Amino acid sequence: MKVTLISIPVRDQEKALKFYTEKLGFIKKKDQPLGGGNRWLTLVSSEWKDGPELLLEPAPNHFEPCKVYQDALMEAGYPYTQFDVKNVDAEYKRLTNLDVEFSTKPTTMGTVKFAIFNDTCGNNIQLVEEL
């Protein structure tokens, strides 16, 4: 068994596509219309093109419990998911230069360093570096 797809809820797929590709550097893999203005829209890491796909899921627009959960995580400041990086400080600098807003600057805790940013699509995302 292996993970091939991970979904992240977004309220605007086009805005999310732009943020995740232009700011974070992901690459669009699939983009198929589903009807009602929704798409099966997946991305992959530019560093791992054969790795798991990230689905930009429009669920908060159609499923109220998803929207409530997403709002609660945002309000509490909790990240929806995390992305591993080689160097949190370097990514923090690169992304702040692209006007990405961080709620938590690079912080060391035990054997990891992490930072948390707003993906502009309703989610906090945590960057993690194993030390």
Exposed/middle/buried for residue 36 (C-beta within 10 Å: 0-12, 13-18, 19+): exposed
The CATH number covering residue 42 comes to: 3.10.180.10
**Tokens 């923090």, residue?**
92
Query: 90: domain range?
Result: 5-130
pLDDT of residue 81: 97
Alpha-carbon gap, residue 31 to 33, rounded angstroms: 7
Q: What is the mean pLDDT of each run of 10 residues along the chain (131 residues)?
A: 96 97 98 95 96 96 95 97 98 98 98 98 98 98
From edge to edge, which strands make up the β-sheet containing 27-35?
Answer: 5-9, 53-57, 38-44, 27-35
Q: Tokens for 26?
A: 């992901």
pLDDT score recorded for residue 123: 98
Q: Nearest Cα to 104, choosing from 112, 93, 96, 114?
A: 114
Domain total in the chain:
1
